[in-house]
A and B are shown apart, each in its own frame.
Chain A
Amino acid sequence: MHIPDGILTASAAIGGYAATGGLTWFSLRRIKKQYGDPRSGIPRAALLTAAFFAASLIHIPIPPISVHLVLSGLMGVMLGWFSIPAILVGLLLQAVMFQHGGLTTLGINACLMGIPAMLAYYIFRLRFLFGREKPLTNGLLAFIASFLAVALGAFMAALLLIFATPAYLDAAAERQAIIALSLAHLPVAIVEGLFTLMVVLFLLKVKPSLLDGDQL
Chain B
Amino acid sequence: MIAEAAVSKSAARSLLGRWEARLKVPALLLLVFSFAFVRDLLLLPVLVLIAAIIYALSGLPFSHLLIRARLPGFFLIAMAIILPFWSGQTIIWQLGPLALRQEGLLGLLLIVVKFFTILTVVIALFGTTSLPQLTLALRTIGIPWLITDLLLFTYRYLYQLASDLRQMRTAARLRGFTGTSVSALKPLAFIAGTMLVRSQEQSERVFQAMTLRGYGNSSLPLPSFRPLPVDFLLLAVAISLSAMLVLLQFIL
Contact = CB atoms under 8 A, between A and B. Distances in A.
B3 interface: yes
B73 A199 contact: no
Contact of B104 (A10, A78, A88, A167): A167
Interface string A81-103: 00001101110110111111011
Contacts of B186: 198
A51 B32 CA distance: 30
Contacts of B180: 61, 63
B225 interface: no
Contacts of B3: 97
Contacts of B132: none
Nearest to B191: A58
B200 A207 contact: yes
Interface in B95-138: 103-104, 107-108, 110-119, 122-123, 126, 134
Interface stretch (A38-46, A112-120, A125-133): A38-46
Contacts of B32: 5, 103-104
Interface stretch (B10-18, B53-61, B151-159, B230-238): B151-159
Contact of B87 (A37, A49, A55, A167): A167
Contact of A42 (B104, B108, B146): B146
Given A50-B199, A60-B188, A199 B193 contact: yes
Contact of A51 (B37, B83, B126, B196): B196
B215 A39 contact: yes
Given A49-B154, A202-B190, 4 more contacts: A28-B144, A54-B161, A166-B39, A210-B200
Chain A to chain B: the 8 pairs with minimum beta-carbon distance, closest first: A167-B107, A46-B153, A6-B114, A6-B115, A198-B189, A202-B193, A50-B157, A5-B118
Interface of A: 3-10, 13-14, 24, 28, 31, 37-40, 42-51, 53-55, 57-58, 60-63, 78, 85-86, 88-90, 92-93, 95-100, 102-104, 161, 165-169, 173, 177, 191, 194-195, 198-199, 202-203, 206-207, 210
Interface of B: 1, 3, 29, 32-33, 35-37, 39, 68-69, 71, 73, 75-76, 79, 82-83, 86-88, 103-104, 107-108, 110-119, 122-123, 126, 134, 144, 146-147, 149-158, 160-162, 164-165, 179-182, 184-186, 188-197, 199-200, 202-204, 206-207, 210, 215-216
